[in-house]
Chains A and B, each alone.
Chain A
Amino acid sequence: MKIQIKNGRLIDPANGIDANKDLFIAAGKIVGVGAAPDGFQANRIIDAAKMIVCPGFIDLAARLREPGLEYKATLSSEMSAAVAGGITSLCCPPDTDPPLDEPGLVEMLKHRAKSANKSHVYPLGALTIGLGGQKLTEMAELTDAGCVAFSHADHPLTDTQVLSRALAYAATFGFSVWLRPQDAYLAKGGVAHDGEVATRMGLPSIPTTAETIAIATILQLMRSTGARVHICRVSSAIGVQMIRAAKKEGLPVTCDVGVHHLHLCDRDLGYFDSNCNLMPPLRGLRDRDALREALKDGAIDAICSDHTPVDDDAKQVPFGEAEPGATGLELLLPLTLKWATEMKLSLSDALATITSRPADVLGLSAGRLGVGCAADIAIVDTNRTWRVEREALRSQGKNTPFLGFEMVGKAICTLVDGHVVHES
C-alpha cells in the first residue's frame, strides 16, 4: 500500500531532521522524505497537520506475559497497548512461564507476535536454563531462533563463577548480555529503598549497595571476559556514576532507566501506595535527579517502559505483599516528553531516548526515517492531554502510580512496516 503522510512536522533524531517534510511509504518501506519519488501515487493520504511525525518508539523492556502468565495479560491486549503508545518495536524479557530458554518457545512467541500484526517483538533469551542461574542455555541456537540478547530478568544469578562463564561464553559469539544489577543477599526481603522514607514507613529495605556491588561485579567480569553488557534499570546516583566511569574507560557497556524512575522517588510511596512498589525500588530524590541528568548527558543510553502488567489482586494487598511493577506501554511517550520539557530539552532530544538511542543499544538500524528504512512510524499529538484511567488503558495492567493523573502527549496513528496498526 502506498501512503503519504503530509503536513506533519518530521522529527528524525538520528538524521538530525526537524522540519516540515512529507513522508512517502511503499511496500513497507520509506521511499521518500520531503519529496515523492517519481510516479508515486498514494493509495492513502494521512493528514498529520499539527502533529509530529517520528520514528516509532523502541521499548527495551516490555513484559507481554505470554507464554504462561495470561491471567495477568495477553499478547493481544499488550500489543494493542504498545501500538496505542506509539511503540513499533519492543524487547520482551525472558521471565515468561516457561522462561524463554528453548528455541521452540522463542519461535512460538515470534510467530504469535507476528500474527498479531502489530509491533516488532525482539525476544531476550534466558541466560541460564529456567533462569535458575546454574546451566547455560544454547545461546547460538536461541540467537538463530530470534533472540537479540540474553538476560536474567529479575532472577538473581548469585554464583559468580556461573556468571563469569556465561559472560565469557556469550563473548565468544559477540552476544550481548542484559543484566539487572541487584545483589540477591543485600536485597533479600527488601521492598523499598533503604533511606529515611523506608525508615519512617517501617518497610524492609534494599540498600543502594545492592545495586552498586552488583554493578562493580559486572564491570569487573566484563574486563576479564570481554563481554558486552547492557545494564538494565539503573536506579541510583552512585550506580550511574560507576557506569559513566566505565564508559570513559572504554568498556562496551550500555544501560537504560525505567521511565517511572525518571519521575518518582521514595517519597511518592505516600501512604503505602502499592502501585509504587517497583523493582528496582524508587530511590531517593538525589538518585532520581542523577538519573534525569545522566539520561541527558548520555551516561544512560535509553529510556524503557519496563512494562509489567500486574493483576488487581496482586496490588490490592499491603505494600510489602504486593507484586512489584507498573504498566508502562501507554505512558512511555507522555512521561518521556514530560522529562524533556522539565529538563528544557528539544523534542528531538526527547524522542531520541526512545527511538535512535535504544536502536543503537540493540544494534538495529531501526529508530530512524531515512529512505530505505522500514516504515515504522508514530504520528504524535504533543498537545493532547488525557487522563490516566483504567478504561483509558488498553493494557490489562491497570497498575500505575499515575492513576488519575493528566498526561500530555498521545500517539494518534502508528504504522509498522507501512501498515496502519493503530488509529485514534
Chain B
Amino acid sequence: MNHNPQLNKNGELTHLLTIEGLSAEIVRTILDTAESFVSVAEREVKKVPLLRGKSVFNLFFEASTRTRTTFEIAAKRLSADVLNLNIGASSTSKGETLLDTVDNLSAMHADMFVVRHAQSGAPFLIARHVKPGIHVVNAGDGRHAHPTQGLLDMYTIRHYKRDFTQLTVAIIGDVLHSRVARSQIHALTTLGVPEVRVVGPKTLLPNGIENMGVHVYHDMAKGLKDVDVVIMLRLQNERMNGALLPTAQEYFKCYGLTQEKLALAKPDAIVMHPGPMNRGVEIDSAVADGSQSVILPQVTFGIAVRMAVMSILAGN
C-alpha cells in the first residue's frame, strides 16, 4: 500500500496512473520521446513496429469518443492490436465486478489496459491487481487525474514557449471537478513553472488547493494579468443544478475568456483547452478560433504523447 504503484522493482515506469510522484526526468523523457513520434504522423505510412504483437485493451467505463479515439490511433501507429470495450453492454452491467472484468480480459492475453473510470483511484485498484508485465494507463479517473492530457498540455507549452522556468500559467474554471487541472498542476510544478494560478469562483475551487503549489484568484482580470499560458477548463451543465453556479450566462460574464480579457495577458500568450469546448460558456468563439489559440495542435500532440507513454511502458 505504501510503495509508488507506478514504478516496478527497478524504479522504471510500469503504469502511468498520475503525474504526481513522477520525477521531472521521467516527465521530460516522455516529452522527448513524444517529439520523436510527431514526425510519424507526417509520413505516408504512419506506423512504427514498437508494439507489434501486443494487445491494447481500451477499458472505458465512462463514455468518451475523443480520448478513446486518440488512444486507438496511437496504439495502431505503434502496430499494436487494439480492442475497444464498450463497458455498458459488457458483463459489468450484468453485475460483474471491476476486478473480475479485468481478470477475464487478462486471461485473453491483454498486454496493456487503457482505463477511464468515473471513480477516482480505479486505475490504482486495477494496477495493484494485474500480474506484473501488464501495464495500466489511466485515461481519466473521476476528478483525480488525466496524466496523458497533462503531459500533452506540457508538450504543447514546451512547443510554443520552450522554457518552463520563466512562465506564468493560469488555469481557469471548474478546478474542483477537473482531473485535467490536477494533472496539469502536478506537471507544471514538477517542471519548475514558478507561478501557477487557478482562477474561479469559490464554489469551483477545492479546499486546500494552495497546498498543491498554486495561487488562488477569484478575480479573472487579476488572474490573467501578464500570464503566458491561459488554460480554459470545460464547464459542465450539471454545475448549475448543484447550486455551485447560477447560470452559464453569469459564468461567461465573470469567467469566460473573451478577446477583451485575453488582452490582459501577455501579447504572445497562448490559449489552451483540453476539450470539448462549450463555446459561449467558458470561451468565446473569436478566441477559440483566434490566432493565440493552440487548441487544435493540442489534439495532434496528444497522439504523439500517447504513443510515447505506451512505448515507454511496454519497453519497461
| Contact assessment for A199 and B145 in the assembled complex, using a CB-CB cutoff below 8 Å | no
**Cβ-closest chain B residue relative to A200:** B212
Is B208 an interface residue, CB under 8 A from the partner? yes
Is A317 part of the binding interface, using a Cβ–Cβ cutoff of 8 Å? yes
Chain B residue at smallest Cβ distance from A207 = B207
Does A318 have its Cβ within 8 Å of any Cβ on chain B?
Answer: yes
Chain B contacts for A203, CB-based, 8 A: 120-121, 142-144
B144 and A202 within 8 A (CB): yes
Whether B2 lies near A270 (C-beta < 8 A) is yes
Dominant secondary structure at the A interface: loop
Contact B142 A320, beta carbon cutoff 8 Å? yes
Q: Is B211 an interface residue (CB 8 A)?
A: yes
Cβ A272 vs Cβ B124 within 8 A:
yes
Q: Are A317 and B97 in contact (CB under 8 A)?
A: yes
Over the window 88-113 of chain B, the binary record of Cβ atoms lying under 8 Å from chain A Cβ atoms (1 yes, 0 no) is 00000000011100000000000000
**Complex Cα distance A313/B97, Å?**
8
Give the interface centre of B97, B143, B182 by most chain A CB atoms within 10 Å: B143
Please encode chain A, from 292 to 325, with 1 for each CB lying within 8 Å of some chain B CB and 0 for all others.
0000000000000000000001001111110000
Contact A271 B124 (CB under 8 A): yes
Shortest beta-carbon distance from B47 to chain A in Å: 35
Q: Is A140 an interface residue (CB 8 A)?
A: no
Contact A200 B207 (CB under 8 A): no
Chain A CB within 10 A, most for which of B117, B121, B142, B144 = B121
Instruction: Tell me, rounded to whole Å, the shortest Cβ–Cβ distance linking B245 to chain A.
Output: 17
By the criterion CB–CB under 8 Å, are B121 and A272 in contact? yes
Q: Which of A201, A273, A318, A321 has the most CB of B within 10 A?
A: A318
B97-A318 in contact (CB<8A):
no
Contact of A318 with B117 at beta-carbon distance under 8 Å, contacts A195-B208, A200-B20 already known: yes
Count residues on chain A whose CB falls below 8 Å from chain B CBs.
24
- Contact, CB under 8 Å: B119 / A320: yes
Distance between Cα atoms of A321 and B208 in the complex (Å): 24
Q: How large is the interface on B (under 10, 10 to 19, 20 to 34, 35 or more residues)?
A: 20 to 34
Residue contact A196 to B208, C-beta cutoff 8 Å:
yes
Residues in B whose Cβ lies below 8 Å from that of A200: 20, 182, 211-212
Query: Roughly how many angstroms separate A49 CA and B121 CA in the complex, as a whole number?
Result: 49
Name the CB-closest residue of A to B207.
A194
B139: shortest Cβ distance to chain A, in Å?
A: 15
Contacts of B119 in A (CB 8 A): 318-321
| Shortest beta-carbon distance from A186 to chain B in Å | 12
Chain A positions 327 through 345: 1 when the CB is less than 8 Å from some CB of chain B, otherwise 0: 0000000000000000000
Q: Report the bound CA distance from A207 to B2 in whole Å.
A: 26
Could you tell me if A202 and B143 are in contact, using CB atoms closer than 8 angstroms? yes
Given contacts A199-B212, A201-B144, contact A320 B121 (CB under 8 A): yes
| Residues of chain B lying within 8 A (CB to CB) of residue A204 | 143
Q: Which residues of B contact A151 (CB under 8 A)?
A: none
> How far is A320 from B117 in the complex, measured between Cα atoms in Å?
11
Nearest-neighbor residue (CB-CB) of A321 within chain B:
B119
Residues on B with C-beta less than 8 A from A202 are 120, 141-145, 179, 182
Write out the residue numbers on chain A whose beta carbons fall within 8 Å of the beta carbon of B192: none
A 173-220 contacts with B by CB, 8 A: 194-196, 198-205, 207
Question: What separation, in Å, do the CA atoms of A207 and B176 have in the docked complex?
Answer: 14
Cβ of B209 under 8 Å from chain A: yes
The 21 listed contacts between A and B (C-beta, < 8 Å) are A195-B208, A196-B207, A196-B209, A199-B209, A200-B20, A201-B121, A202-B145, A205-B206, A270-B2, A271-B5, A271-B124, A316-B97, A316-B125, A317-B97, A317-B125, A318-B121, A318-B125, A319-B119, A319-B120, A320-B142, A321-B119
Given contacts A203-B142, A320-B119, 20 further A-B contacts (CB under 8 A): A194-B207, A196-B208, A196-B212, A199-B207, A199-B209, A199-B211, A199-B212, A201-B144, A202-B142, A202-B179, A271-B5, A271-B121, A271-B128, A273-B1, A316-B97, A316-B99, A317-B99, A318-B119, A318-B142, A320-B142
Q: Which residues of A contact B (CB under 8 A)?
A: 194-196, 198-205, 207, 270-274, 313, 316-321
Enumerate chain B interface residues (CB-CB to A < 8 A).
1-2, 5, 20, 97-99, 117, 119-122, 124-125, 128, 141-145, 179, 182, 206-209, 211-212
